[in-house]
Structure 1
């Protein structure tokens, strides 16, 4: 009952897009994934990822959780998969240890957008110019999905954030980003973060955002030289999560633990 929930639907080749979207709305998780036969050479499976509003090309914790579910379905304790998503092919490694599984993945090479003016972004999050980090810029970054990195000066600002839906929607549209990823660099390798996304006329906060933790690691590497980052997220929601990230060549590795809480059969 911590971290970010995920529903994984196996044997989904026969489901059309409308049905998959309907199932995603029925599960009411931040994302629901559908395991299909791959269409790309070398891939072990195709991972279709849906929010309650739409299919998205890539996501972090749905990639890790889906790989764990596939390994469990195959009855193996260790596995290395090449998953196919809308962002390309990503290697994912899984180790099952009783009730807890550990998964890690290599995300796509980082792509950096131009820094944007901080005041309007902070204003959309209910913060002021004084809350801006004194050295680090607000900047879009993608390692498969484009998110906006928003550094703030301290934990007080992080905890005080109260986003405004219309302004968050406008910032996301202007920067072509999905999540506004607010964070405070720590004195050690740990960074506290909060992820906000405008959906269905409200701003939702994500307990864990693997597709933003990867860009955050790449961002900190670019601006501070850090090669490893532990991202603590979800504390404000009472669903703490821990994502471990590291620079591996041109890529970012993102890893975390997964726990299966429910198995069942879906009839559609």
Structure 2
């Protein structure tokens, strides 16, 4: 039988000191009591250490949870900021691309429009040249005679050089104009000479004042230049009208229309000046 100083099972410690018989000497009692107190103190220290460890673990867990929450919140903020920055950057890039493409489309449209106008001017010039080519040669040289008449002085000689194929028509046209000069009291000595070095349609008039080129090609070149200037002026007017519309200046459009009409009249006047009656 064991006699315990305390009931460790009732205390829940499971630790204690007991003796194996019912007789305990006085000199051994102090030792046994000290051992029992040691067991109890050891139990208390173990429980305190365990409690402290649990408390530390709980604190670390709470700290870890707080840090994890802060990291999650920061990550969410970074994600939101990155998403916003990405959206703004994408929007800016999209706007820049759109403006660049719009500018390119406008430039391409302007280039196509300019080419179309140049082509139109070329077609008009070709049409006039075809009309002139099919006209009566005498009418062509009558037009040249009217040009020569502006520099012919009374009594001065006029030596005309034309292509051999145009000699007959030129002689007939200039003889008719010379007859009208004589009727008007202007004595002009006229001579028409065939020159094989000249191109068909060429007409060079040599007078006391110098040599005058009244060739058909010269008139056609002047007509082409006039058409090119008119086309460039129309393009500049349209560009000014577009700027005026973008700036809300409605009056510019009306001025542009007036200028365009004026250029159209200039083209008509040029065509009338250079065209030869058939």
Shared fold by TM > 0.5? no
Quick one: higher RCO (CA 8 Å, sep 6+), 1 or 2? 1
Q: TM-score, normalised by structure 1?
A: 0.17
- Greater C-alpha Rg: 2
Higher helix share: 2
Higher strand share: 1
